[in-house]
Amino acid sequence: MWKRNMNREEVAELIERFLEERSLYPQEWNDFVDTPQKDSAIDKYRRACYEVGPLVNRHGDPDPDAVARLKGIIEQLRPSRG
């Protein structure tokens, strides 16, 4: 069963792995987007990933706007450093 209590950094890392095509196993992305998270704030990000996932996780080139949206989610998940 997929982890239902991910933290912000874990989600950011998962999205990065997905975008860089280095998932830990073939169905990691699907397991994430298909499993509701206990933390409603984290689940909001999961649902956003679910919405754009098909535009990135497809044959051919990923949709550039969907990739940008996922990168934006990563930025939101990580506190600003500076």
Q: How far is CA 57 from the centre of its chain?
A: 11
DSSP annotation of 81 reads -
pLDDT in tens, 17-32: 999 999 999 999 999 9
Mean pLDDT (whole number) for 48-57:
94
CB 39 within 8 Å of CB 8: no
How far apart (Å, rounded) are the C-alpha atoms in residues 22 and 26? 9
Between 80 and 17, the more confident residue is 17
From the list 32, 7, 6, the residue with the least C-alpha distance to 19 is: 32
Task: Give the pLDDT of residue 82.
Answer: 52
CB 36 within 8 Å of CB 43: yes
Q: What is the mean pLDDT of the chain?
A: 93
Mean pLDDT (whole number) for 42-53:
97
Task: Give the pLDDT of residue 38.
Answer: 97
Task: Give the pLDDT of residue 1.
Answer: 60
